[in-house]
Amino acid sequence: MNIQPLLEKSASDHSHLCPRQILGVRLGLLGMQVLGTGKNTSKKTLLVIVESDGCFADGVIAATDCTVGHRTLRVEDYGKTAATFVNTVSGQAIRVTPALDIRQKAYAYAPDEPRHYFAQMSAYQIMPDEEMFTVQNVILNTPVADIISRPAVRANCSVCGEEIINEREIYLNGSLLCRTCAGQSYYQTQSSDAQFKPAFADSFPAEVISPK
């Protein structure tokens, strides 16, 4: 398969191409091949979970057409250039990872290039899949139906009142809570009674900017 159009697609968001983008494209293509899904398959049939963000993820996106906006791509940031491919109909899941010695193998495919970065750039485009990657069958700890959720499901946190979508609410001691109010927040407010006030807030009536 000619992967150049996919590499160009990935590079367009960066104005450059790097080894991790190439790795992401190759890994994405292999994942779809092994799972038996592809671009002619319904977009909602494939869910990809990438284990890092950045250039690698853009390569996977270019190959699979899965995106966060379509809810077909999720990022679980483990800092790894790996991804899990899930058939949302059958529930089958595979995890694809680079071979542990992939860099050392790459140099053999670019013997005339002494610069490691450019050796990887060249080699990752031509190395056989079986030398680049390891594929494992895996079972998701969270059922795929729970990950995807149902459309148009909404709830409001009984503490902060903010809307929750995609069934991400938590029930605790009989109360419906968002993850933040349930103690699972990724942030802390600077003051428990402080409310964000935009710089232009004074030009609007209080009822316009006050949280519901």
Mean pLDDT (whole number) for 1-17: 89
Question: Rounded CA gap, 109 and 123, in Å?
Answer: 5
Kindly state the average pLDDT of the residues 28-46: 83
Residue 191 or residue 51, greater confidence:
51
pLDDT at position 133 over 90 = yes
**Confidence at residue 211, expressed as pLDDT on a 0 to 100 scale:** 37
Query: Phi, psi (5° rounding) for residue 96?
Result: -115, 130
pLDDT score of 42 more than 80? no
At 209, the pLDDT band (50, 70, 90 cuts) reads very low
Q: Which two tokens stand for residue 98?
A: 């680079």
Enumerate the CATH 3.30.1330.130 domain ranges in the chain, comma separated.
Answer: 4-147
The candidate with the shortest Cα–Cα distance to 9, out of 79, 60, 46, 50, is 60
Q: Which of 144, 183, 148, 187 is nearest to 165 (CA)?
A: 148
Q: The CATH number of 4-147 is which of 3.30.565.10, 3.30.1330.130, 3.40.50.720, 3.40.190.10?
A: 3.30.1330.130
How many residues are given for the chain? Answer: 212
Q: Where in the chain is the domain with CATH 3.30.60?
A: 149-186
Quick check: 200 pLDDT over 60? no
pLDDT of residue 193: 55
Residues 6 or more apart whose CB falls under 8 angstroms from that of 152 comprise none
Cβ pair 3, 17 in contact under 8 A: no
CA–CA separation, 68 and 201 (whole Å): 32
The Cα 101–Cα 5 span in angstroms is 27
Tens-place pLDDT, residues 59-72: 999 999 999 999 99
Tokens coding 136: 């494992």
Long-range contacts of residues 57-60, Cβ cutoff 8 Å, at least 24 apart: 57/24, 58/10, 58/13, 58/14, 58/21, 58/24, 59/6, 59/10, 59/20, 59/21, 59/22, 59/23, 59/24, 59/25, 59/26, 59/27, 59/28, 60/24, 60/25, 60/27, 60/28
Average pLDDT of the chain is: 89
Q: What is the pLDDT of residues 110-124, one digit of tens each?
A: 999 999 999 999 999
- Which residue, chain included where needed, has tokens 């860099």? 103
Quote the DSSP letter at residue 43. Answer: G
Report the sign of the C-alpha dihedral through residues 189, 191, 193, 196, in that order.
negative
- 8 A C-beta contact, residue 23 and residue 56: yes
CATH code for the structural domain at 149-186: 3.30.60
